Amino acid sequence: MTERPRRWRRRLLMALAVVAVVGFAARYWLAGGHGVADESWVLLDLQDGYAEEAADSPLQRLLGEPETSFLDLLLTIRDAGEDARVAGMVVRIRPLAIGWAKAQEIREALVKFRSTGKPLHAYLELELSGGSMEYFLASAADRIHIPPGAAAPVTGLLAQYVFLGGVWEKLDVDMQVLKIREYKTFGDMLSEKTMTAWHREMANALLDSLYGQLVDAIAADRKLEPAAVRAAIDAGPATPAELQRAGLIDDTEFLDELRVALVGEDGKWLSAADYAAARRPLPDAPAVSGQVAVIYGVGAVTTGESESGPAGGDSSMGADTLIEAFNEVAADDDIAAVVFRVDSPGGSALASDLIWQAAQRMRATKPLIVSMSDVAASGGYYVAAPGTRIVASPGTMTGSIGVVMAKPNVRGLLGKLGVNMVEMQRGEMASMLSVNESFTPAQLTRIKATMDHVYDLFLQRVAEGRGLDMAQVNEVGRGRVWTGAQARQNGLVDELGGFFTAINAAKTAAGIPVEERVGLVFYPRHKGLMARLTKALGTRLLGAAPEWWQQVQRATLAWRYPAGSVLTLMPQEVTIR
């Protein structure tokens, strides 16, 4: 590259940085200038997904990425409840792209808002593509409204599992999968044509747990019998009048009609984004005492550095990045405790153990509270095992203590295509990871021994962290995934709750009164603005990939690892709608 293009690129990046910073500052100044008027109503829009990590505002605004992180969302709801200037809230809910644990945390925040005595209204904008999760959130409100053309707010839960075993037969590929133990069914997706008995048992147990949580929450807040809720769900799509007769909604009206009813003909409500920008400082807010670090472990566990996909999607939890974060926190005397926020289906067994060691070492210096988001399974649970205390939502996918490995032999497929691969080796095990050969009996013996070692080490790490013996961990392990509610019954989780529950646990462990506020310091540290701009501009196109392709990439997570990698990866991505 010549010097002129380099100068041009630097100038472009500098200009973009200036635009981002100036735009952010202008918005902040304008919002702060207007402030929050007394008797304000806040309109909170809930739709799509929310990235775990705290928003890096200037860059995200510049690139058009979502401005609200999951924590930002929870804090906005909490502050609106505590803010004397806010009279009430309307939550407009459209189709969401989050897991059940995040939905439960949002619902918990809405319930807390409602407990302040301020009115909370839910406005559901759903068609047949809407789902039970959205109604689950709406049921936390005092009143539920839908427009006349809406339908089907609750239709039950559906879990779908894909099996590719029949594909390999047609392609003449020998897909070899080794797993420890029987519930470690990620490999089944690659090698089988349908569910095994163990997989079906586990899947039914997960559905039963989540369905019970859904029905019980709706029944409690809508003051209905659980049997009546199940009957309404089984009845399927319903008209607004039928929904009202069933007690599932209160009114049918358009949003502007609801606005007039609540704030008057000339009244307006404040958007949640504008409220979030203008709300601080809150009147009579308690002083901050002490600091708590929040370390994010998001995405598949890998060696090397963490990667962040667009809007938090396709992220990875890199061992080097997490080790650096834990070391920085351990050395900072101003930090009283740590919350390790995990949202990961697992990944590399080696990387999981490296992160485990850094977390274990940090735990010797200050309390480590683990907060589990939608998923903290397999390697995601491995890295959480050192926690002084583990907090999970009832719907968190957790556990999956097991090991899996997959390797295809594509010699037959290559032959059909007229491709011939010639290999030469020195050493009996040299061809072990070749995709042109199947495992020999001797290789299988050695690989299984290695995987047994990893599994035993996994059991040992969990047993040490949880105060159990290895036999007890094995009983609830064997690759099985549990909901957070089930995991608590099995001793894998200490307490049910979300992020704020974990923060309170961190305060208690550090000797800070729960009613006091603490400053949050986020890790891993963001890179410099120029480095982030360069990287983000290079990855922006990834966000344009069709949703179906992004789902394929998530479903085939194991394929990002080299053939023969020993993985602590949960059986499959389980999306239950």
End-to-end CA distance of the chain: 50
**Tokens 């808002």 correspond to what residue?**
113
Residues 6+ apart with CB under 8 A from 179: 185, 186, 187, 188, 402, 403, 404, 405, 479
Question: What does the H/E/C string look like for 145-206?
Answer: EECCCCCCCCCCCCECCCCCHHHHHHHCCEEEEEEECCCCCHHHHHHCCCCCHHHHHHHHHH
For residue 241, the one-letter residue type is A
Question: Mapping DSSP to helix (H, G, I), strand (E, B) and coil, where does residue 520 land?
Answer: strand
307 φ, ψ (degrees, to nearest 5):
-125, 145
Per-residue pLDDT of the chain (577 residues; tens, 9 = 90+): 455 555 555 555 555 554 444 444 444 444 444 579 999 999 999 999 999 986 554 445 444 444 689 999 999 999 999 999 999 999 999 999 999 999 999 999 999 999 999 999 999 998 876 689 999 999 999 999 999 988 767 888 988 888 999 999 999 999 999 999 899 988 888 899 999 999 999 999 999 999 999 999 999 999 999 999 999 999 888 889 999 999 999 999 999 999 999 999 988 899 999 999 888 777 777 778 899 999 999 999 999 999 876 444 568 999 999 999 999 999 999 999 999 999 999 999 999 999 999 999 999 999 999 999 999 999 999 999 999 999 999 999 999 999 999 889 999 999 999 999 999 999 989 999 899 999 999 999 999 999 999 999 999 999 999 999 999 999 999 999 999 999 999 999 999 999 999 999 999 999 999 999 999 999 997 654 444 444 444 333 334 445 444 555 555 555 566 655 777 777 555 566 5
Per the DSSP assignment, residues forming a β-bridge with 42 are: 89, 270
Nearest-CA neighbor of 567 among 410, 397, 451?
451
Evaluated on CA atoms 558, 560, 561, 563, the torsion sign reads positive
Check whether the bond before 7 is cis (ω within 30° of 0): no
Structure tokens at 514: 């729960």
Go through the chain and tell me how many residues it has. 577
**What's the Cα-to-Cα distance from 390 to each of 386, 420, 498, rounded to whole Å?**
9, 52, 11
Using CB atoms within 10 Å of the CB of residue 332, give its burial: 0 to 12 exposed, 13 to 18 middle, 19+ buried.
Answer: middle
Angstrom distance (rounded) from CA 356 to CA 381: 10
The pLDDT assigned to 572 comes to 56
| Rounded Cα distance, 135 and 145, in Å | 11
Tell me 488's DSSP state: H
Among residues 378, 393, 400, 565, the one annotated as catalytic is: 378
Burial of 1 (0-12, 13-18, 19+ CB in 10 A): exposed
Per-residue pLDDT, 392: 98
Helix axes 3-34, 529-539, angle to 10 degrees: 100
Q: Which of 488, 478, 485 is closest to 198 using CA atoms?
A: 478
**Which ranges of 312-440 does DSSP label H, i.e. alpha helix?**
319-331, 349-363, 379-382, 411-416
- Bridge partner list, 449: none
Phi then psi for residue 479, to 5 deg, are 85, 5
Distance, in Å, from the CA atom of 417 to the CA atom of 413, rounded to the nearest integer, reads 6
Check residue 30 and give its pLDDT: 40
Q: How far apart are CA 306 and CA 223, in angstroms?
A: 46
Query: Is 378 among the residues known to form the active site?
Result: yes
Task: Collect all residues with Cβ–Cβ distance below 8 Å to 410 and sequence separation of at least 6.
Answer: 173, 435, 436
Nearest to 59 by CA among 524, 529, 521, 541: 529
Q: Closest Cα partner for 396 from 382, 377, 370, 379?
A: 377
